[in-house]
């Protein structure tokens, strides 16, 4: 059964994910290193708090996600791992990552990491905007419909 996995610590669209999940009666797995208020007791939301440490939440998501599930994350290496498990990956701004686009996303991430470590200043991501939220809602709905119709 289709589930939505959320790399939840810094996810700005958790409320939107839960609203869409309610409409489709889908289970949402919120995975984080810290607890999140607001979803305890929700019948469709499972909150998993993992121990602190690098990539612990990513490892948990990768171990539990299956083919056809949806993963919402900013994390490019996590997206890559989930795509390899045949999951659908959305960024919180609505951008879809798949087998065709993940290579460029990884290369860009690595380039920016190397520039920063060499002392070059790079801008961080732009601020999350109202249009990003709208794009995400459209992309999540489209992904769910495509999976259901497949």
- Predicted confidence at residue 122, as pLDDT, reads 67
Mean model confidence pLDDT for the chain: 91
pTM: 0.88
Average pLDDT over every residue of 5-9: 95
Please name the residue ranges forming H helices in 1-150.
14-24, 56-64, 76-84, 102-117, 130-149
- Residue 27's alpha-carbon distances to 2, 11, 18, 31, 77, in angstroms, are 8, 17, 9, 13, 24
Q: How far apart are CA 32 and CA 8, in angstroms?
A: 5
Percent of the chain with pLDDT over 90: 70
Q: What pLDDT band is residue 28 in, cutting at 50, 70 and 90?
A: very high
Give the residue numbers spanning the domain of 112.
3-149
Cβ atoms of 31 and 57 closer than 8 Å:
yes
Q: What is the number of structural domains in the chain?
A: 1
Amino acid 39: pLDDT? 81
Measure the CA–CA gap between 69 and 85, rounded to whole angstroms. 9
- Per-residue pLDDT band for 102 (boundaries 50, 70, 90) equals confident
pLDDT of residue 37: 61
CATH code of 60's domain: 3.40.50
Question: Span 92-98, mean pLDDT?
Answer: 96
With pLDDT > 70 as the criterion, what percentage of the chain qualifies?
97
At 70, is the pLDDT very low, low, confident or very high (cuts 50, 70, 90)?
very high
Residue 26 CB burial class (10 angstroms; 0-12, 13-18, ≥19): buried
Asked if residues 45 and 64 have their Cβ atoms less than 8 Å apart, the reply is no
């Amino acid at each position: 059964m289709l589930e939505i996995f959320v790399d939840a610590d810094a996810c700005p669209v958790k409320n939107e994910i839960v609203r869409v999940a309610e409409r489709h009666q889908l289970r949402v797995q919120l995975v984080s290193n810290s607890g999140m208020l607001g979803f305890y007791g929700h019948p469709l939301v499972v909150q998993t708090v993992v121990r602190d440490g690098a990539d612990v939440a990513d490892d948990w998501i990768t171990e539990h996600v299956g083919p056809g599930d949806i993963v919402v994350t900013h994390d490019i290496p996590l997206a890559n791992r989930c795509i390899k498990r045949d999951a659908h990956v959305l960024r919180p701004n609505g951008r879809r990552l798949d087998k065709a686009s993940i290579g460029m996303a990884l290369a860009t991430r690595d380039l920016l990491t190397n520039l920063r470590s060499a002392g070059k200043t790079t801008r961080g991501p732009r601020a999350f905007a109202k249009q990003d939220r709208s794009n995400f809602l459209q992309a999540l709905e489209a992904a769910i419909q495509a999976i259901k119709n497949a």
